[in-house]
A and B are shown apart, each in its own frame.
Chain A
Amino acid sequence: MVEMRMRDALREALREEMIRDETIFLMGEDIGAYGGSYAVTKGLLEEFGEERVIDTPIAESGIVGVGIGAAMGGLHPMVELMTINFSFLALDQIVNSAAKLHHMSNGQIHVPLVIRMASGGGSQLGATHSHSLEGLYAHFPGLKVVCPSSSADAKGLLKRAFRDQNTVIFIEHTANYTLKGEVPDDPDYLVEFGVANVLREGSDVTIVGYSGSVHQAMRAAEMLETQEEISAEVIDLRTLRPLDMDTVIASVKKTNRAVIVEDDWLFGGFGGELSAQIMERAFDWLDAPVARVSCKDVPLPYNRNLEFAALPSEEDVVEAVLRMFKE
């Protein structure tokens, strides 16, 4: 075990996978000499050379399309889109080409491609640069959607992404990049897709989160225990597609209450899907309606106070839990 920040764990995953598999190469905006906007690819150009670490023009649709073509041609590219906010420009390639070619070609073509992007608000970057779109990508059949919350998961899941034969949308919350955590140094360390992580066991309520919101969930669980003597179970989904609903349902059947916390917008967000599935599969076990703690229904403002008022906080989670016990 080595303690490292998530950005360093991601870099280790890329390094190890590039050493293991010569078909892997990286392309993206400023991933070379600049080292990546969040310093994930720092030093990789020097180590692997220009053939395998390629700086691209600012052309999101084009570079994702080139990645898809290279994947169809037998390579395993990774495209870094800098941030999820720019992925709108590549949406057609992701949705119409990467996600569908395997199905439309009756299984003849597959697109082994990893698309990495940073997501999340909270840095006062304004409405265009603060999206959380994990749920949007999870909407499309044919994609895999991964959103780690820790250094260890970041490494294990990114390495696993390169063992997949499909397009993996790999979403990294910017608040997680500097978080430190213990990471296994075994080069075969993988975290399987579709296996949620029970981060904290509890008996009174299940709090479900993913990506950045896992940390609000954990802090809320600690507050509930010390201040309210409520025992909260916290589940990190890790991947939204495939989705490990069995772990969530088993937990809800034990605790009889569920709170979903996410940075996505409430209206039409991924929490709605989780809530519906809990209702469908565990209705008789619920002692209260499923609660959702999400981003307020507004583009994220620049002003710090306004931005924090819009984003979900641990206090919001605690409040949602307490409401369940009062009703």
Chain B
Amino acid sequence: MTTETTARETLGAERLGMFLYQMMLIRRFEEKCGELYTKGKVRGFLHLYTGQEACAVGMMATLDEHDKIVTHYRDHGHALARGLDPNRVMAELCGKATGVSGGRGGSMHLYDVSKGFLGGYAIVAAHLPLAVGLGMAARMKKEDSLALCVFGDGSVGEGEFHESLNMSVLWKTPTIFFCENNLYGMGVPFKESLSTEIPKLAAAYNMPAVSVDGMDVLAVYEAMQKAVAHCRAGNGPYFIEAMTYRYRGHSMSDPELYRLKDEVDQYRKQDCIDRLKATMQTAGYLSEAQFHELTERVEQVVHDAAEFAENSPQPGLDTLFDHLTKEPAHG
């Protein structure tokens, strides 16, 4: 049996439909971000997730609401897949007071503690030890939750990658290390910056490590299910490398001199949305009318998000010094 058959059978039409909807939502949301960036509404660094949607959707679908997530700076997809309000994510990108971080974070620093979404981290690999600590806290407090840590292939050269993998195994923390290998650390191919293969590094620290097709949402989902079961059973950390690809440049200012358009086209042929759509159609789970309806729904949500962001107020200048430190309320 192939991955597609098993996951398709367990998940059924409704959940697969949700996966498809979420991937389409992220795709359209990112396109809108790009538009708003060129209009000057979104500023700063903007890293689009287009092409990698299967990773975010497949991973988040396996988590419980009390699980904790830390991720990298290409974080819009993870935020949306985790169920953060698209309106408030878009408002954050536009620096508005209604944004998930009140306009203080921007694209790379999205937070929603109510969803266990503890941030995008813009210093490469800085959040890996945080995920070990979050797992440690869960274990020490005897909670059933786990910490999911998402990072890119560029992280594996950092010392904190190795420090974190080592400590998570030593202390058996319920941490899932999820490496989105999109082949490039900015513009450097990962094969030119790493002397070995990524899962081998994790295996060297004595944790289970697998590599999966990160452009197949069902493959990601199944790998994550195993990882989650491993962590919940108290067996310590688990490592997943998902082979994926970003269609857009590293950020909006990337002239993409390091890769050929042919390569991008080749990956577009394996597109995660097209693949799930085909799978669902073959199974009789999706009609053209239903797909059209999904497309319209996504269009509406993204349109509303952009409108919400546009119409939201700027943070007041009198809030500049808010949240420097947390102090007890004076009554």
Q: Is B76 an interface residue (CB 8 A)?
A: no
Q: Which residues of B contact A106 (CB under 8 A)?
A: 100-105, 111, 322-323
Q: Is A245 an interface residue (CB 8 A)?
A: no
Most buried by B among A54, A70, A101: A70
Q: Which residues of A contact B103 (CB under 8 A)?
A: 106
Give which listed residue, A61, A102, A104, contacts B326 with CB less than 8 A: A102
Per-residue interface assignment for chain A, residues 161 to 201, with 1 indicating a CB less than 8 Å from any chain B CB and 0 otherwise: 00001100000000000000000000000000000000000
Q: Is B186 an interface residue (CB 8 A)?
A: no
Task: Decide yes or no: A104 and B109 within 8 Å by CB, A92-B126, A109-B118 being known contacts.
Answer: yes
Q: Is B112 an interface residue (CB 8 A)?
A: yes
Q: Which residues of A contact B101 (CB under 8 A)?
A: 104-106, 108
Q: Which residues of A contact B326 (CB under 8 A)?
A: 102, 107, 110, 165-166
Task: Decide yes or no: A96 and B123 within 8 Å by CB, A62-B129, A65-B128 being known contacts.
Answer: yes
Q: Is B119 an interface residue (CB 8 A)?
A: yes
CA gap between A13 and B300 in the complex, in Å:
58
Q: Which residues of A contact B327 (CB under 8 A)?
A: 165
Q: Is A210 an interface residue (CB 8 A)?
A: no
Q: Which residues of A contact B301 (CB under 8 A)?
A: none
B133 touches A109 (CB 8 A): no
Q: Smallest CB-CB separation from B108: which chain A residue?
A: A104
Chain B interface helix/strand/loop/mixed? mixed
Q: Which residues of B contact A96 (CB under 8 A)?
A: 123, 126
Give which listed residue, B138, B164, B324, B328, contacts A102 with CB less than 8 A: B324
Give which listed residue, A75, A101, A105, A108, contacts B137 with CB less than 8 A: A75
Task: Decide yes or no: A108 and B113 within 8 Å by CB, A70-B136, A165-B326 being known contacts.
Answer: yes
Q: Is A299 an interface residue (CB 8 A)?
A: no
Q: Is B84 an interface residue (CB 8 A)?
A: no
A57 touches B102 (CB 8 A): no
Per-residue interface assignment for chain A, residues 63 to 85, with 1 indicating a CB less than 8 Å from any chain B CB and 0 otherwise: 11111111111110100000000
Q: Smallest CB-CB separation from B136: which chain A residue?
A: A70
CB of B111, distance to nearest CB on chain A (Å): 4
A97 touches B140 (CB 8 A): no
Q: Which of B113-128 contact A (CB under 8 A)?
A: 113, 118-119, 121, 123, 126-128
Tell me the total A-B contact number using a CB cutoff of 8 A. Answer: 153
CB of B109, distance to nearest CB on chain A (Å): 5
Q: Which of A37-95 contact B (CB under 8 A)?
A: 51, 54, 56-57, 59, 61-75, 77, 92-93
Q: Which residues of A contact B316 (CB under 8 A)?
A: none
Q: Is B64 an interface residue (CB 8 A)?
A: no
Q: Which residues of B contact A103 (CB under 8 A)?
A: 104, 322-324
CA gap between A67 and B123 in the complex, in Å:
17
Give which listed residue, B109, B135, B163, contacts A59 with CB less than 8 A: B163
Q: Is B134 an interface residue (CB 8 A)?
A: yes
Give which listed residue, A25, A69, A71, A92, contacts B131 with CB less than 8 A: A69
CA gap between A110 and B133 in the complex, in Å:
14
Task: Decide yes or no: A97 and B164 within 8 Å by CB, A69-B137, A107-B326 being known contacts.
Answer: no
Task: Decide yes or no: A102 and B325 within 8 Å by CB, A61-B159, A61-B160, A65-B133 being known contacts.
Answer: yes
CB of A47, distance to nearest CB on chain B (Å): 17
Q: Which of A96-122 contact B (CB under 8 A)?
A: 96-97, 101-110
Q: Smallest CB-CB separation from A167: which chain B residue?
A: B325
CA gap between A146 and B160 in the complex, in Å:
27
Q: Which residues of A contact B100 (CB under 8 A)?
A: 106
B123 touches A68 (CB 8 A): no
Q: Smallest CB-CB separation from B112: which chain A residue?
A: A108
CA gap between A112 and B109 in the complex, in Å:
20
Q: Which residues of B contact A141 (CB under 8 A)?
A: 324
Give which listed residue, A61, A71, A166, contacts B133 with CB less than 8 A: A71
A69 touches B130 (CB 8 A): yes
A75 touches B141 (CB 8 A): yes
B325 touches A105 (CB 8 A): no
Q: Which of B6-57 contact A (CB under 8 A)?
A: none
CB of A57, distance to nearest CB on chain B (Å): 6
Q: Which residues of A contact B134 (CB under 8 A)?
A: 69-70, 72-73
Q: Is B156 an interface residue (CB 8 A)?
A: no
CB of A166, distance to nearest CB on chain B (Å): 5
9 interchain pairs, CB-CB under 8 A: A61-B163, A71-B133, A72-B68, A73-B135, A74-B137, A104-B111, A105-B101, A107-B102, A110-B326
